[in-house]
Amino acid sequence: MNIKIKIVGVAGAGTMGHGIAAVLLRSGCEAILCDSAAKALDAAQEKVSARLAREVEKGKWTAEEKSVALGKLRTTTKLDDLASADLVIEAVTENFEIKAQAFRALDGCCRAQTIFATNTSAISITRLAAVTRRAPQFVGLHFFNPVPVMSLVEVVAGLETSAATVSLAENFARQLGKTPVRVNDFPGFVSNRILMPMINEAIYAVMDGVAEPAAVDSVMKLGMNHPMGPLELADFIGLDVCLDIMRVLYEGFHDSRYRPCPLLEKMVAAGRLGRKSGRGFYNYSEAKSRPGAQ
């Protein structure tokens, strides 16, 4: 496929969208960042600028290079403004209907050769591609949080994704300084199929009274050399996101081994979502109960 990726549209300017925009600018691309919420765009612009400022602090960039890169960022609240993009990376809310609606709109306004990518954590690439008229040009580009720091990109091939699209996506990830790993479209891909059941099992261990959260995390950090314990990580990801992904695995495989832990369901129902709500397995409003505190 002979497409040169210069202009990249990013739909969704939340945690992932702003991180993806920063990485795009860092590698010299033009980025058009779209969010239906104007407030999210303001916050994203500030975060992207702060991220690029770090390149200057580290001596990797001059202040002038930073302002040239920032000049390549446009923001908009209308998906139609992504029409000139060579590639669109969708990073809107993790919900099939919201994503499908965005892709239908993008399919209507973008050029026929534009490549579509989704950053979904667990929704089927094949199913999302099917709402567009360009399933062969539709691929999963699964970045990890925080995007500027994490080197992995899972490149997910849907059933109809062409080999040319997969290899274009891999090359593009390399162009961004990332390491692509090619996987096929199954619930949770590789990353969440392995990570989420581990987190879910850690929550079962707490529910069954095997150990307190801090003890479960210590076992995994000190015994398995994990940089973060599974419950600390669950709080970082968001317990609602963990539950959504477990549900995708459970419904996708129809297998009870992916059954979401009842304690996880209860905590989400109570609004204990982890860091973002101030409380999850740890309490983030009291410094002494944070993970790692004595």
**Site of interaction with ligand NAD (CB under 6 A):** 11-17, 34-37, 40, 79, 91-94, 98, 102, 119-121, 144-145, 237
Q: How far is the CB of 166 from ligand NAD (least distance, A)?
A: 19
Q: How far is the CB of 122 from ligand NAD (least distance, A)?
A: 7
- The residue (of 117 and 203) whose beta carbon lies closer to ligand NAD is 117
- The residue (of 242 and 267) whose beta carbon lies closer to ligand NAD is 242
The gap from C-alpha 187 to its chain's centroid, in whole angstroms, comes to: 15
By Cβ distance, which residue is nearest to ligand NAD?
14
Instruction: Give which of 227, 262, 232, 258 is closest to 245, Cα–Cα.
Output: 258
Q: How far is the CB of 61 from ligand NAD (least distance, A)?
A: 25
- The residue (of 66 and 99) whose beta carbon lies closer to ligand NAD is 99
Q: List residues with catalytic annotation.
A: 121, 142, 154, 192
